[in-house]
Amino acid sequence: MKVKNLGQLLSVFEERMAKDKNRISMTRTAVRCAVRAFGARSASEIPASAFDRLPDVLAGYLKAEGSSKPKLRNYTSFVRRLIHWGEETGIVTLCDSYELSKNWRQTIDKCGQRLGRRWSFGWNSLGSWASSKDLEPNDLTSSDLVEFAQWLRTSGWHKDWRRAYCSIRRMWKRASTAGMLPALDVPALPRKMPSYHLPFREWPPQLQEEYKGYRDWATGQFVPGRPRTCKQREVTAKKTLSMFERIAGYFVKVKGIRKNDLNFDIFYDRDLVTDLLKWLSSERGLRGTSLFTIVVTLASIGLQYRKLSKESLVWLLELKEQLRDSQPRDKSYKMVSLKDLRTVPERLRRERLALERDLKRGKEYSIRRWARMVRDEVAIRLLISRPLRSRNIREARLGRNLFKTRDGRWRMLFEGEETKVGNKLGFFLPRSLGPCLELYLEKARPILVEGKSSDFLLVSHTARPLNTTSLRELVKKHCMKYLGKPVTPHVIRDIVAYGILSENPGDYLKVKELLGHRSINTTLRIYGHYGMDDAAKSYDEMLGLDSDGSEDPSRDKDDTDR
């Protein structure tokens, strides 16, 4: 049975997903917004032929309404997932909404089966455009794709036309490598903002030598007098170099300073650095953390490596404090209760067990999909039970950071140089995590590794350790699916901290030890505001006042007078 409109699709979805009330509620809200975006009176007035364009029309409507980015992302995500669910269950066929030639339809179906459902994003519009010009897949040239990009930009077919075109460019390369499409040089789109960085190779020799000296100092294994917090890994050193390339590019390309006049001292010119921060904020749209990172890095290098006096850098240290105390980002749209968060791995476990039953019945499911589900469950359980920083979770190694003790308990251990703040971390994992962890290590992980050599705990399908984006998207995907909130690994740390403080008000020391902060001052600075409401509530109870400041009418009047 094929649905004819959005109303029918939503009804079938509610009927088959009746147990997942949270997802149904969020999907209903997103569909109501989509109805307003189309100017329709009900979901039944939106035909199936409009499904492919529905998320982009909704995104354009929300942008015009001035909606927040989280709302835009969440609503379009739920609508897109509803349509993808319809495709997977066979009640929606997006290709039917386009005038595609037989050859294009076969090519899109073939590539979709081979490369996954994400293939369809933007490709139906390419097939429709090419079919209207009697161009088959093998007839396209680079100039045709330039013309298609211009049409995509002006037609309004995809509001996020850049993303659609970049998806086509990326997937064409994969399809041509697999032999399904001819090799073609798909031209790239120009950047939204021109790059302003000055590559290291274009720096004057004097500045190159000065920076190489700093890099050797920061990355060296043993450097006398260097604070342990100043030691950098290669990946961090690359990011620091990229930051200096952008600053140098600003000095040369925006401020007009000659390349030969660049030296390390110019990075500590008060007026130039202040103008840089203003320009990054107003012209490039950088905020909070990005600006704070620049100031912290300059201050650390100036004080620890160049040995500049605090008096000469007082202006930079004041900027650091101003940015530190600036209004933090609003994380409320990501926050959930610790109780709700703990349901995510349990629901993921039930889904995994259902897949195992299907495998036993002989249904054709990917065993690698099962292995990824076990890995995801372990990752989320580990983040909830021991809310480490993302880097430590991703880079945990078997035998070195994770091992089994003689009494059969699993223990994690990180030396000072392996943590962000230089603190040694060591703790036992809860016994409840043991069975899931052992299932992953004994059965699921070997499927992902496929015989390749790797001692990392969490690995991707290529046997490499998960990178920052992979772990974040892994957690966000499952939290969006089960809770409707884009929770990230770092937000889990906040959720755990607030959960501890709600049960044990004022127990900041426990939060400090669990999160691995270097100082209790860090814990108080980040989470100290949480105790204000609790202190006010306790004081009101002591005075016999309600939360609005009025006297508690249930309290005895004579007692109050005394």
Mean pLDDT of the region 2-16 = 88
Q: What's the pLDDT band for 326 if we cut at 50, 70, 90?
A: low
Answer whether residue 281 shows pLDDT above 50: yes
Q: Say whether pLDDT at 343 is over 70.
A: yes
Sheet with 425-428: list strands edge to edge: 402-404, 410-414, 425-428
Quick one: what percent of the chain has pLDDT higher than 90? Answer: 29
| pLDDT attached to residue 356 | 84
Mean pLDDT of the chain: 83
Beta bridge partners of 428: 411
Mean pLDDT for the stretch of residues 159-187 = 78
Residue 89 parent element (H or E)? helix 69-89
pLDDT tens, residue by residue, 51-90: 877 887 788 778 777 777 778 888 888 888 888 888 878 8
**Whole-number pLDDT of residue 129:** 84
User: What pLDDT is stored for residue 336 in this prediction?
Assistant: 87
The average pLDDT across 189-199 equals 78
pLDDT for res 344:
93
Identify residue 172 by its one-letter amino acid code: W
Q: What is the pLDDT of residues 200-220, one digit of tens each?
A: 999 999 999 999 999 999 998
- 358 pLDDT band (50/70/90 cuts)? confident
pLDDT band at 143 (very low <50, low <70, confident <90, very high): confident
Query: Is it the case that residue 562 has pLDDT exceeding 50?
Result: no
Is residue 175 exposed (0-12), middle (13-18) or buried (19+ Cβ within 10 Å)? buried
- The single residue listed with the structure tokens 């889990």 is 492
pLDDT at position 454: 87
Axis-axis angle for helices 54-64, 69-89 (nearest 10): 170
Q: Check residues 553 and 367 and name the one with the higher pLDDT.
A: 367
Mean pLDDT across 491-513: 88
H/E run at residue 403: strand 402-404
Considering 355-359, 398-402, 416-420, 539-543, the range whose residues carry the highest mean pLDDT is 398-402
pLDDT at 60: 75
- What's the mean pLDDT in 307-321? 90
